[in-house]
Structure 1
Amino acid sequence: MTDQLIPDRPAARPARAARAKRGKKRTYAASFIYDQPGPRGRRNILIGSVVSSVVFIVVIGIGLWQFASHGQFAPERWQPFTDWAIWQYLLVGLLGTLEAAAIVAVLGGALGVLLGLGRMSNQRWLRWICSAYIEIARTIPVLLMIYLMLFGLPQIGINLPTLWKLVVPLTIANSAVFAEIVRAGVGSLPRGQREAALSLGMRGAQAMRFVVLPQAFRNVAPSLITQLVSLLKDTSLGYIVAFTELLYRGQVLASFLHLLIPTYIAVTVIYLVVNGSLSALASRLQRGSRRRPSTQPALPGLPAIDTKAANV
């Protein structure tokens, strides 16, 4: 009987160790930015969530009741939105919004990575310049920079195209935010990650590029997606420079149809669908990255480690 029980004990240990390891990974993925709340904190969070949801539902209900009492839900006011030409007009504005957001995301993201790395540089002068840029760009309102592009630069002979009058201010503002997100992601990693890469013979730039930054981006992926959603909403400031984006097209359509509330409700629905789809895609990618099995890479010139054989 003893001989039958002894083989079962080692078999149960790897299963318990695997469950504990998965639990540690989930805890780390959820709490590398903040500490896990205790029982009282979780209860307060639950109460706050319930109260906020009830207040939100009440406010939405009062708003819908006010709209209905003033005839905003009358069928004749929504009849123009059954025409495909109306939606096609709004979708052209949506394409302009996505175009501006994509350009700002690429330029602002690349500049933000450089600024974030520069702020962590060992060179004092480079760190000072990047820090000054980030603080100034985060302090100046985006609307003020747009007015500078619209009225200030033409006074000195610089007249940018309409798209770039919107893209340049948004790139300046969002690059500073991206830089802080990147810096927070790098700071969340253990110091041993970079030291281990250097011990393998990598240079500092290679360790940052192949080891540190990929893990940092994975840790701050929710913050990056949140900033992209905020960026998509900031493109609505394009109406100031008469750029053909979604909100500008909605204003023109509302003036043409004399239907202010229905038009802006339709524009709001489009924003909700786009931003909600972006957030859902980000959550799915993040869950997929956590479920992906981790493989132990082989060192250059050495064979790959067979983990199954090592556990036997």
Structure 2
Amino acid sequence: MTVESSALYDVPGPKALARHRLYGGLALLAIAALVGWIVYMLFHTQQFTESKWMAFEYKGVQELLLRGLGNTLKAFGWTVLFALPFGALFAAGRLSDHRVVRWLSTLVVEFFRAMPLLVMIFFIFVALKVAPLWALVAGLVLYNGSVLAEVFRAGVLAVPKGQKEAAFALGMRKTQVMAYVLVPQANRAMLPAIISQLVVALKDTSLGFLITYEEFLHAGKLIATNLDYDLPFIPVVMVIAPIYIGMCLLLSWFARWVERRSRRSPSVRGGAPVVSAEVPMGLPPAAQQ
């Protein structure tokens, strides 16, 4: 009787499988106990009483939450609109053959990538006297655009060097090589990191409440600190957190959808099939005579 093996690790035997099942069962019991304890504490501290949840029945509170959610999506939309071109521009600058352009792009990317996001938002809002929405968007664009610039640069550099050399051998200019050869091949490798950074940008819009921007978290804070509703901190968290999680999951679903579409694209699959030349095998007719 032969035992199958893996190139990375040995296939576990009966004792190892039993151990793994035991560890899995113990982990599930620990997670169930933790969830049970959290639910017990929620009931024990009276977080489900009517006085803490009645705030969500009022139309004004519902409109406040919807307005905050709309402002969050507005800030996120402007951030995506500017951060992606910002990242692409400075990624191209870092890949430039011109030393001055490359150094300036590197300086901008490294500076804004290392600068704390909250400090940038406060500086733009307080020192430059910018409106809360645009102060938030500017800070998010500078930080997330710099991170995306590194993502784009890494994606282009990950394409095999032979692709670029072959394109240059065909007489293409560097701009054509970048646009038609390197970037299309790097797109699929960059997509998960791009979506992951956009999720970070979506969550970072919550920093807007520190500069009085009326986004989703700011609306929740106004409700949670209202004495008329018995300070419903936990109910507000239980309402706001699933919505943030849902938006992040929606972005992840969109990324998977784009990836599936790119797999079905003829350019990704290798283009149109090559038509056979229908040349008969064997010696040429002249050699056969």
| Shorter-chain TM band | 0.7 to 0.9
Tell me how far apart the structure 1 counterparts of residues 176 and 117 of structure 2 sit (CA, whole Å). Answer: 35
* TM-superposed deviation, 1:77: 2.7
* Shift in CA distance, 74/188, structure 1 to aligned 2, threshold 3 Å: same
Equivalent of 1:174 in 127, 144, 160 = 144
**Distance (whole Å) between structure 2 residues aligned to residue 176 and residue 262 of structure 1:** 36
> Equivalent residues in 2 for 1:272-311 (5 A)?
272-292=245-265, 294=268, 296-297=270-271, 306-307=273-274, 309=276
The residue identity in structure 2 corresponding to 1:189 is V
The letter of the residue matching 1:236 is S
SS at match of 2:201: helix
CA RMSD of aligned residues (A): 3.1
Of stretches 236-245 and 118-127 in structure 1, the one that deviates more from structure 2 is: 118-127
Q: Once the 2 structures are TM-superposed, how far is the Cα of residue 198 of structure 1 from its aligned partner?
A: 2.6
User: For residues 244 and 237 of structure 2, what CA distance do their matches in structure 1 show?
Assistant: 10
Segment of structure 1 superposing worse, 176-185 or 193-202: 193-202
Give the AA of the match of 1:251: K
Q: Percent identity?
A: 33
Report what 2:77 is aligned to: 102
Shift of 1:89: 2.3
Displacement after TM superposition at 1:65 (Å): 2.4
CA distance in 2, matches of 1:202, 1:268: 50
Tell me how many residue pairs correspond in the alignment. 262
1:199 maps to what in 2?
Answer: 169
For structure 2, which runs of at least 5 residues remain unmatched after alignment?
1-6, 280-289
- Number of the residue aligned with 1:185: 155
Structure 2 CA distance for partners of 1:209 and 1:54, relative to 1, 3 Å: farther
Q: Following TM superposition, by how much is the alpha carbon of 1:167 offset from its aligned partner in structure 2, in angstroms?
A: 0.9
Q: Which runs of 5+ in 1 are unaligned?
A: 1-36, 154-158, 298-304
Please show how residues 1-312 of structure 1 align to structure 2 within 5 Å.
38-39=8-9, 59-82=34-57, 85-153=60-128, 159-256=129-226, 257=229, 258-292=231-265, 294=268, 296-297=270-271, 306-307=273-274, 309=276
Q: Partner of 2:137: helix, strand, or coil?
A: helix
Shift in CA distance, 286/39, structure 1 to aligned 2, threshold 3 Å: farther
Asked if structure 1 preserves the Cα contact closer than 8 Å seen for 2:79 and 2:140, the reply is yes
* Letter matched to residue 90 of structure 2: L
Look up the SS of the partner of 2:113 in the other structure. helix
SS at match of 1:182: helix
Alpha-carbon deviation of 1:203?
1.5
Q: Sort the Cα spacing of 1:61 and 1:84 in 2 relative to 1 into closer, same or farther, 3 A.
A: farther
Q: 2:134 aligns to what SS in structure 1?
A: helix
Distance 2:30 2:198 in 1: 28
**TM-score in terms of structure 2 length:** 0.79
Amino acid at match of 1:173: Y
Displacement after TM superposition at 1:211 (Å): 1.8
Deviations 1:93-116 (A, max 9, x none): 111111111111121111111111
Q: Which amino acid aligns with 1:109?
A: L
More moved, 211-220 vs 183-192 = 211-220
- Counterpart-to-counterpart distance in 2, 1:239 and 1:174: 19
Give the TM-score, by structure 1 length: 0.74
8 Å contact kept, 2:94–2:101: yes
Cα distance in 1 between the residues matched to 2:278 and 2:214: 61
Distance 1:41 1:289 in 2: 35
Report the structure number with the largest CA radius of gyration: 2
Distance 1:291 1:82, change over 3 A: farther
Deviation, 1:236, is 0.3
What SS class does the counterpart of residue 198 from structure 2 fall into?
A: helix
Give the corresponding residue for 1:27. none
